[in-house]
Amino acid sequence: MACRAAISLPSLCLARTLKPSASASGRISSGSAPPSKPYRPLRHLLLAPSRFRFLPPSFSHFRPSSRACPASPVAAMSSSSSYQKELAAAKKAASLAARLCQTVQKAILKSDVHSKADKSPVTVADYGSQAIVSLVLNKELPSESFSLVAEEDSADLQKDDAQETLERITALVNDTLSSEYNTVVSDKDVLAAIDSGKSEGGPHGRHWVLDPIDGTKGFLRGDQYAIALALLDEGKVVLGVLACPNLPLTSIANVDAHYSENQIGCLLYATTGEGAYLQSLNDSSTVKINVSTVDNPADASFFESYEAAHSLHDLSKAIAEKLGVQAPPVRIDSQAKYGALARGDGAIYLRFPHKGYREKIWDHAAGSIVVTEAGGIATDAAGNHLDFSKGRHLDLDTGIIVTNKKLMPALLNAVQESIKAQSASHL
């Protein structure tokens, strides 16, 4: 069965999302709050329908159906890959999670938004996506010990007033899984699946790393987001999958392009030493991808967060000016930035969080291997490779920069000079 079509957002909205910041009034350029989107709730999916049977919690009821998975392994991957079965499982998990997220993005209600201590929005889709990935990985890789480092935990869902939300999540999870498995999971299964993501990771053994919805703010706006899943083996990222339901299948460098439903929805993936690939979320056609070959900064364009709270836009601007970049920044949410860079839509990604912010490994693990396998480099602002072996956080010097090998020396230089100049001006 083919995955459902990606999204019903008007193409105008998507084109605006991808437009670089050429003018101060644009949604992308200003970083100002975009107009809220009118969503039509699909109540039959968000409220637990009676056709879902809540059986006793047991993953042993979890049986695959005979239906084919749209994200099955592809011929483009070498058969010698040592992580092939993990890759197939990860693609399946991320594709199904993306399907759940698409359903919710179409249906989202204000009341589905919770508030975490850090004020970032959490939706039923975050929890549902995390539950799906955990359940599918466990089902597809039953003989392996399972460790998952993931963003969400079920603490808020365990509260008395969250029962209705939990039932909605369970219904969504069952609805999504029913296309691939003959199974019905219970509320308790869903809570257990979410809480399997509490691993601390670290330098030894294998750990899955998941951001169930990266770019939650973009998701809520109807813009870009990603389901980002990676595998660490002895502290190194060896596999990464980015499901980006709203990312056009063709380059977003053409900012005036409009896209129809069947032209969006990307699954980008890589395993160590095997290159990076792009597949449609809706079918299995696959292409190998490579980063841009641009070596003159004047011809480069750069990505950064849509949210000014996530990255210092002024510093990026100063770096771009020092480098001689002519194009305005392309501001989009989530690790879709890594995906777009990996296929050469732009040449540079700059990320400089405000002082004191600690980056989480799930915000970069999948994206970084997709880019490095496509021929790029991701480092911190001091030029150190990103180290995913330190637990749930990255230990970083200042920020993250990503580009191709030709541009990296000049970029690093511009970054360090700009940071120095900024510090001096703050003295």
Ligand X SMILES: Nc1ncnc2c1ncn2[C@@H]1O[C@H](COP(=O)(O)O)[C@@H](OP(=O)(O)O)[C@H]1O
Tell whether residue 307 is a contact of ligand X (CB under 6 A).
yes
Query: DSSP of 233-256, one letter per residue?
Result: ETTEEEEEEEEEEEEESS-S-STT
Residue 8's Cα: distance from chain center in Å?
20
Give ∠ CA 304-309-314 in degrees, rounded to 5.
60
Q: Find out whether 135 and 173 touch, Cβ atoms under 8 Å.
A: yes
Listed residue (12, 9, 10, 6) closest to 256, CA to CA:
12
> Closer CB to ligand X, residue 17 or residue 216?
216
195 labelled binding-site residue: no
Catalytic residue among 165, 170, 183, 216: 216
Task: Figure out which of the listed residues 140, 189, 211, 274 binds Mg ion, where binding follows CB under 5 A.
Answer: 211
Task: Figure out which of the listed residues 205, 357, 395, 397 binds ligand X, where binding follows CB under 6 A.
Answer: 357
Return the number of other C-beta atoms located less than 10 Å from residue 395's C-beta: 13
156 labelled binding-site residue: no
Return the number of other C-beta atoms located less than 10 Å from residue 62's C-beta: 18
Q: Among this protein's residues, is 126 annotated catalytic?
A: yes
> Closer CB to Mg ion, residue 363 or residue 380?
363
Q: Where does this chain touch ligand X (CB under 6 A) — which range of 69-77, 214-222, 248-256, 388-396?
A: 214-222
Quote the least distance from Cβ 211 to Mg ion, whole Å. 4
Q: Find out whether 325 and 334 touch, Cβ atoms under 8 Å.
A: no
332/350 Cα distance (integer angstroms):
12
Tell whether residue 364 is a contact of ligand X (CB under 6 A).
no
Task: Figure out which of the listed residues 214, 333, 373, 380 binds Mg ion, where binding follows CB under 5 A.
Answer: 214
CA dihedral 246, 197, 134, 368 (to 10 degrees): 40
Q: Where does this chain touch ligand X (CB under 6 A) — which range of 33-41, 65-73, 206-214, 278-286?
A: 206-214
Quote the least distance from Cβ 305 to ligand X, whole Å. 3
Q: Among this protein's residues, is 216 annotated catalytic?
A: yes
Task: Give the binding site for ligand X (CB under 6 A).
Answer: 120, 151, 211, 213-216, 218, 305, 307, 309-310, 333-334, 353-354, 357, 360, 363
Q: Which residues are annotated as a binding site?
A: 151, 211, 213-214, 363
Task: Give the binding site for Mg ion (CB under 5 A).
Answer: 211, 214, 363
* Enzyme catalytic residues: 126, 216
